[in-house]
Every structure is written in C-alpha cells, then in structure tokens.
Structure 1
Amino acid sequence: MNLSPFLAACGAAADVHLTHFLCVTPVGIAAQYAAPPYRMDTLRLCYSMTKSFTSLAVGIAWGQGLLALDDLIGDILPDCMPEDRGHPAWEIRVRDLLTMSGGIGENTYSALFGEPDWVKAYLHQDFPHPPGGVYLYSTHGSHVLSALVERVSGQSLEDFLNRYLFHPMGIFEAQWERAPEGRIAGGMGLSLYPASLAKIAQMLLNSGAYGGQQLLPAAYLDLAAAVQIKKQGHDPEAVYGGDGYGFQFHIGKHEHYRMDGAFGQICLICPQKRLAFVALSSGSKTESLLRLIYTHFLEDAPPFSAGIYRMEENPMHIRTLALSGDWEDGTLTLQTDTGVQTLRFRLNGETCGRTVFIKDLQTHEQTYVCRAAWRDGLELTVHYIETPYIAVHRLSFLENAVRLDFQINVSFTLKDFAAVGILCT
C-alpha cells in the first residue's frame, strides 16, 4: 500500500500534523509511517480513545455475565449514590453511560475535575434530562464505567483488561493514569505503542477475535459499533466525523466507527472495506484528517467523465477543455489562444511531465508535478517547479457540463476565476 500521496496531502494541509499512521487489515499491518523524530517503539497518549477501551472492558464483563446493559448503576454502586432514592442518578443504566446519555444538561467536566471522587461527583450532580434520551459528552460518565468493571470483576480496569484483552494479544506496555480517588481513569490517560493500537484495530476488524481466541463478544461489538444515539448540535459540515454514537465509539461516514482522542488521535474501523487506520497527531483537526483518509483510501471515484467541453469566456482564454484516459492515467487538455496545455494525472497519486504555462511575460514549456484527488469533483494541484506557481484546477461535473474553478497561489498576470463548459456532442 503506497502511503506517499496521502502523506504528501497531510503535509500540505495546514490543520493536519501527523506523527504516526498505520494501515491495518484483518491479518495485520499493511503499511506504516512515523514522522521523525517520532518512533514506533515509544508510548503514545490516547486521550479519549481510552473511553473505547473502557467500553471493551464492559463488553468482556457483559460476555462473562458479570453485568447487563440494562443494570441500574445504583444496584452495582449503591455506596456511591445519593442518599435520596428519588435522585435521577438512581435511574441511570449501564447502557446510558455507554451512550453518553446519563441525563446531564451541560458539559460539567471543569466542575467535576477538581472533585476528590469522580464517581460520586458524577452521580451526585444534577440530571435535568431522563437517562437515555439526550447525548452529552462526559468524560466522568465514562469513568463511572471503570468503577463498574472494578466492582463486578473484583479487579481494576487495568488488571481486567490486561488479563482478558491486552496480555492475550501480546500487549504488555499499557500505561494508565488514575482519577483522584485512586481508580484507573476510564475516560482518559491510557498510553500504548502505535503497533498495539494496530493490534486492537485488527481484533475489531475480526469481530473481536485475535490469535484464534474470541476476546470480545461479537454480539457486544455489533451493538457498540452501531448508532445507538444521535449527537445533538452536531456540526453539519463534519460529514466524515458523523453524528452517530455507539457504546463509547463515534460513528461516521458509511457507518464506519472510531476511537477518537484529542488533538487528532484516531483509530478508524471500516468493516465493509476490511481496513482500519491508526492516525496519531501532534495536533490535527479531526474532520480534516478523516477527510484525507477517506479521500485516499476509502472513497471510490465516480465514472470517468471523458469528453470535450466548449468553455465560456474566461480570463485564461481557454476555448475547450478535454478529459481523456481513465483515473489511473488521465489527461486534462486545455486549448487556449496561445497554445495547448496538457496535464497528465493519476487519481490519489502524483505525475510528472512537461507542458506550456506562463512564466513572466510569455508561456514556455516547463516541468510540472501534478497531484490529483477527488473532493466532490476532480481536483488537480499542479506545481510548476521552475517558478513559484502552484495552480489548482477543480472540475465539478454537471449534466452535460463541467465547471472549472482555477486558483493560483501567486502571479502578476493570472487571476482566480470560474467558468462553465458545455459537452460537445
């Protein structure tokens, strides 16, 4: 698997700062990358991906019959509950914590962070909504799940996962942080090697099995990885991140699910494609990082729109625009008043060649490098390496027509413009 086009696109994105990237199949790592000075053999902080591991522990405990999804939290942790049995916390079930729907009305992270006992602090706060009805992200709600696993198993979350998940998978380096009351933090603070995250992704691709052992009940994973609740107030622009939530997993485009941590830590599981991706960052915007992963590895290009289009008047005096070939070896030809510009491209790849383009006063044949991607249309980013010019041609395909959006980074003579071309019959 060639990572070069993807890594180049990440490098060009202002809001993506990748440190590690691993492509995973059901049989192991297919490709991997670590940006210097980062290495594969050091721990990496998972941030809120920790929540998904807590969910896996709940699933294992569920499979062992230690708890049920509809168990009331108060029946398992009665000593942590408010004395008033009429308090809404007594109505919260295990599944409500798994789906971030315990019933809180606002983000109470800051208010609870300094409390000496996070479990009691969460359960003693106000719950204006009925449990199970309203999604509101809560790290402390995830931490209560750690306490549940500890209570029903008689082991800490760390020891429980070591015994039933990590050690059977050959993962021995896990480092956890603790909440103020001494419990293993269930919503944050886990560190693992990147390769161990890839092992977890492989296990999830195989429906909970690893090394010939069924470590996680497949029936639980089916529930955890499906939309159990919708996120209120979801940004409609976050088309890749999605508005669905399972059991401590985010559900995004094409129903793919993911572990998700602050500053661009992602473990994306794509069962239909039989692929998973571990992406770790020094600060990335999640939606931008997901968009690049989908663009380069997951989204199929539409049928190739070969043809010749007669262009309307435009500042570059392009008379016709022609597409020929296919996505593996395509050609964009622009017939102008001063000559013919030909750009070869390969979708999600890089091509080199020579074509005519303006330098200062006149057009000259010169060397170019072209990177092609599909982003609701064909986007060609062309570096004219004999000059400072970087031109972007975006082709949006309409019925019997094409819209060309042209952008140039710097120029004395060229300007950005848009023009429509009609397919010649």
Structure 2
Amino acid sequence: MKHISPGEAGFAPDLEERLAARFGELHGLVVFKDGALLFERYGEGEDHSWNVSLGVVAFGPDTLHDIRSVTKSVVGLLYGIALADGLVPDPEQPLLAHFPEYSDLAADPRRAALKVEHALTMTLGLEWREDLPYTTPENSEIAMELAPDRHRFVLERPIVEEPGRRWHYCGGASALLARLIVKGSGLPLPEFARRRLFEPLGIGAFEWLAGDDGVHSAASGLRLAPRDLARIGQAVLDDGAGVVPASWLGRALRPKVEVDEGTAYGYQWWLGTGSPPFVAGNGNGGQRLVVRRDLGLVVVTTAGGYDSPEVWETTQAVLDGLLAARVTS
C-alpha cells in the first residue's frame, strides 16, 4: 500500500506525535488520505469477540477485530450490490411480500404497509429496545439472537407507530436486509460478501459470527482488520470504486430521517448534516469508520470499550486532533 507523509497530505509534520498523544486505550487507528496510508497505530489490551473474552491481545495490521454495528453499514453496501444484480427488491417494494413464510403477519394491513426502505432506514415503527446492555435478553438484539426464528421475531414485534415516521435504532432491521440478500443470492451472507465486496477490494481475511441458529449476524457479527475496514471506507469515498454501484451510494448516503440535531440516517449509514458533512459507520465499544469526502479522508478506530460511553470521547479526540493538524493556506 502506498504511504504518504503528513507534509505531502497537507498536515503538520508532528501529526504522528499529536495522534499518538490522543490514542489512549484504542486498539487501532488507521487514517487514509486520498487512498494512501497516512497514519497507523496499534495498541494492546483485553478484547472480546461478542461477549467472549479473547484475553489481552497485541494488535497489529493483520489482527481481526469486532466492528460490531459497523457491520450494519457493510450490509447496506451489500444490499446495493445485490440490488444491482437483480437479487433483492427495490426499497420501495413491500417488505412482507418477500417473506411469504410469514403470510399470517402480512394479513395485518398495518404490517403489510412496511416497505424495504423502512428496514434500510430503521423506521419500521415496531417495538425495539437496544438501550440496554448487550449482555441481557431484555435487549432486543440479544432477544433476537435467542429466538427460534430471528426474522419472525423482528417482524412480529408490536406496532408502536406508523412506519417511516421516526428513526429508532434496530439491529433487527439489518437482519431482515441480510435475509433478503441470502434469499436472493442463494449464498450465505459471508460468501456473498467475500465474492462481491471483499475480494474485489483486496480484502482477504475476515470472520462473520453466527448465532446458535447458524444465521450470521447482520447487526454486529463482522470481524475485520482496521486497514480492511478503511478499504471499505475508501470505496465509499471513491463512489463505490467500481464495486458498489455509485447510483446506490447516491441513494444510500442521502439523509432519509433525522436522528438528532446535525445527524441523519441513510440506508444503514450515519450521516452528518452539518458543515461539512460526513459519512460514518459506528459500533459499540469505539468501532468507527468515518469518511470525509471534502478532505479525502477515511478514519478507522477500533477499541474494547464495549457498553462504555467513555470510549467515544477518545475516538472523538482523535478525530478532532486529526482535523486540528491540517495545514491551511
């Protein structure tokens, strides 16, 4: 991979020292500038694969790491690839029409009103709680993992509001999208990802965790090396790099629903709506993929602060430090 110096990239010559000072308890930090490697640093600390401790790990460029809910954003890209291949329904199509095995649910006109886009934008209007620790079955994602049929579990949640009205964080929405990809392609989710996204981007090693039912988790199951996650961000920056359809990115990265002031949601991606805007995938514990199109930057952090809000202060400090080190004329 091509490397670029801070000076060549338009940053202060002491960029490495500045970022190292903010690294804290992060496990990894990778920064691409215009497709070249600008900065890379790894640490050491206890890590987990989902809730299973891996002990103390010395991280490096090839060490796989849980990316948790950044997985959702990857699934969003896979859906666009599958759509271009004619394998999955357009976002405007009825969702339950593509789950004929749940015809009893589709008999409810309120559920029949659900569209694929409501899953893509997490606006299903169904009862769903992920504001609880991911160690308790009271958390809806964990309850989904424990359910005998995860997709029915999602689709039969109580209706609490009209679909499309309001964003509500929902890993179950990502599970439904992945099921459509698997149905349409006839391939397990990791195999479809390997053939149509990872290998074309030069990504070799990865893992995709599955539940006890053998279904791979579209909400949080992907494990990647930080450099490879940055390659995915670079593809987003490069209008899909000929792998993800640019037309899909034009739809997926357009704000669809407001999350809070300055933040919106597209098709499984977080979108900063301020000036300048940004594109991001975020995952529990400090896993972040941030794309700044205006600066040609891709930033990836990995960390082990699962269920801890404090880790976001560190990731934000790193991002702030990077931007503060830009040399402006």
TM-score (norm 1): 0.63
Counterpart of 1:276 in structure 2 is 298
The Cα shift of 1:96 comes to 0.7
* Contact 2:145 2:211 (C-alpha < 8 Å) held by counterparts: no
Q: Are 1:92 and 2:114 counterparts?
A: yes
Paired residue total: 286
| Distance of aligned partners of 1:27 and 1:51 in 2 relative to their CA distance in 1, 3 Å threshold | same
Unaligned runs of 5+ in 2: 1-5, 7-14, 45-57, 130-139
Select the structure that is richer in strand: 1
Match of 2:268 among 233, 248, 259: 248
Determine helix, strand or coil for the equivalent of 2:31. Answer: strand
| Distance of aligned partners of 1:180 and 1:88 in 2 relative to their CA distance in 1, 3 Å threshold | farther
Alpha-carbon displacement from aligned partner over 1:134-180 (angstroms, at most 9, x marks no partner) = 11111111111110101122222211111111112221212111234
Q: Are 1:265 and 2:255 counterparts?
A: no
Counterpart of 2:90 in structure 1 is 68
What is the correspondence of 1:393-412 to structure 2 with a 5 Å cutoff? none
Calculate percent identity across the aligned residue pairs.
25
Counterpart of 1:297 in structure 2 is 322
* Contact 1:28 1:198 (C-alpha < 8 Å) held by counterparts: no
Q: Which amino acid aligns with 2:322?
A: F
Match of 2:170 among 138, 150, 154: 138
| Distance of aligned partners of 1:84 and 1:32 in 2 relative to their CA distance in 1, 3 Å threshold | closer
TM-score (norm 2): 0.80
Q: Are 1:219 and 2:232 counterparts?
A: no
The Cα shift of 1:111 comes to 4.1
Higher relative contact order (CA 8 A, sep 6+): 2
Cα distance in 1 for partners of 2:163, 2:253 equals 20
Cα distance in 1 for partners of 2:115, 2:324 equals 38
| Distance of aligned partners of 1:84 and 1:146 in 2 relative to their CA distance in 1, 3 Å threshold | closer
Cα distance in 2 for partners of 1:34, 1:282 equals 12
Larger Rg: 1
Determine helix, strand or coil for the equivalent of 2:97. Answer: helix
* Contact 2:286 2:315 (C-alpha < 8 Å) held by counterparts: no
Cα distance in 2 for partners of 1:77, 1:265 equals 32
Deviates more, 1:106-115 or 1:138-147: 106-115
Determine helix, strand or coil for the equivalent of 2:208. Answer: coil
Cα distance in 1 for partners of 2:103, 2:169 equals 21
Unaligned runs of 5+ in 1: 12-16, 237-241, 302-326, 329-425
Cα distance in 2 for partners of 1:152, 1:299 equals 46
Alpha-carbon displacement from aligned partner over 1:56-91 (angstroms, at most 9, x marks no partner) = 110101222332111212121211353451253322
The Cα shift of 1:10 comes to 3.8
Select the structure that is richer in helix: 2
Alpha-carbon displacement from aligned partner over 1:368-389 (angstroms, at most 9, x marks no partner) = xxxxxxxxxxxxxxxxxxxxxx
Q: Which amino acid aligns with 1:175?
A: E
Counterpart of 1:29 in structure 2 is 37
The Cα shift of 1:286 comes to 5.7
Counterpart of 1:228 in structure 2 is 256
CA RMSD in angstroms comes to 2.2
